[in-house]
Amino acid sequence: MSSSSESRCVFVGSDSSSKSDGMFLHNALQWMEDTASSNAVQNRQTVERQRENGHQILLNDWFVDEPKYDDAYFQKKFRMEKSMFLKIVDNIEAKFPDFRDGFDARGQGIFKPLQKVASAVRQLATGNPPDEYDEYLHMATRTGHDFLDQFCDAIIKLYGPCPYPTDPKEERFKKLQEGARKDVERAFGVPKGKWKILRRPLRPLIKHKIGQYVYATCILHNMVIKGDGRAISPVHIMDQPVQPVWDETFLAELLNEDIHHHLRYDLIEHVEAQDLGHLDD
């Protein structure tokens, strides 16, 4: 027996203290062996996500000739019409390489552009974390987060920038419109700070009931201001009654893009004709 073996035998005695020390030495040696071997190349455990299956499920649910769900349900789930969604997919795929089809380092197909955009849009629409769609899209949480960031960046670069008006008429109209928008935001911001029901999802889903809650809080808000003596116009002047008229063509006009541009042009010309010198500052 070698001297080193003899020393180990002598060190590990028969009494309880020696046994305890021997166990400590054994554990220390084992730790040293494990540490020495930790630098060896180890195979990384991978999870097969079955991306192709996830893509096929997505196609069958929404994008084949006879999908599982109709267009109305698609708009409800993705907050946009299917034609717009597909146009976004095509535009992003054409402009951003990260959204194009391809293969990973193992030679396997990566997620399709349809899957990447679907994951990002669903996260934006619901606010839910991407792991909620792991089983449906077969996509890891981190991958879903990355696609969301890339998608938002792509949307901003593709559709976000708006040309700043250079025509003085356009510029005046823009300032007036921004001022009106801020007034509306402030007008509703104060009641929301006072009447907390307006800050939470309203329980009744009936449109009439929601309108009643909003209208009631506005009335109460005005009553409080008047009671404090802070009303701008304390005397209420009743408008002349007007017989409501329903014309079915109004809705079509509201949705008509040409009419929208004509109306906007008329408003710009109207603002230009007014004495609103403060808008030129």
Tell me if 76 is assigned to some domain: yes
**Assigned domain for 262 exists:** no
What average pLDDT does the segment 168-187 reach? 81
Are 116 and 138 contained in the same domain? yes
- Are 167 and 155 in the same domain? no
**Is residue 171 included in any domain, yes or no?**
yes
Q: Please spell the DSSP secondary structure of 90-146, one letter per residue.
A: HHHHHH-GGGS--B-TTS-B---HHHHHHHHHHHHHH---GGGGHHHH---HHHHHH
Residues 76 and 113 in one domain: yes
Range of the domain at 81: 51-159
Residues 192 and 213 in one domain: yes
User: Domain check: are 66 and 132 in the same one?
Assistant: yes
Q: How high is the pLDDT of residue 67?
A: 94
Residues 205 and 186 in one domain: yes
Is residue 183 in a domain? yes
Q: Which of 159, 191, 206 is the last residue of a domain?
A: 159
114, 144, 159 - which closes a domain = 159
Percentage with pLDDT > 90 across the chain? 14
Confidence of residue 95 (pLDDT cuts 50, 70, 90): very high
pLDDT tens by residue, 213-271: 788 788 777 777 777 777 665 555 566 777 777 777 877 887 888 888 888 889 888 88
Lowest mean pLDDT among 35-39, 108-112, 141-145, 213-217: 35-39
Of 14-28, 64-78, 188-202, the range with the highest mean pLDDT is: 64-78
Whether residues 65 and 87 fall in one domain: yes
Q: Which residue has the higher pLDDT, 9 or 68?
A: 68
Q: Using the 3D structure, point to which of 159, 186, 201 is the last residue of a domain.
A: 159
What tens digit of pLDDT does each residue of 186-215 get? Answer: 777 877 777 777 776 765 567 777 777 788
Using the predicted structure, report yes or no on whether residue 163 has a pLDDT greater than 70. no
Residue 89: the pLDDT is: 93
Q: Please state the rounded mean pLDDT for residues 65-91.
A: 92
**Comparing C-alpha atoms, which of 97, 103, 110, 109 is closest to residue 143?**
110
Same domain, 168 and 155: no
Q: Do both 124 and 214 map to the same domain?
A: no
Q: Say if 144 falls within a structural domain.
A: yes
Tell me the pTM. 0.49
Q: Is residue 264 part of a domain?
A: no
- Which pLDDT belongs to residue 69? 94
Do 152 and 167 sit in the same domain of this protein? Answer: no
pLDDT tens readout for residues 119-132: 989 888 887 777 77
* Total of domains in the chain: 2
What is the model's pLDDT at position 60? 94
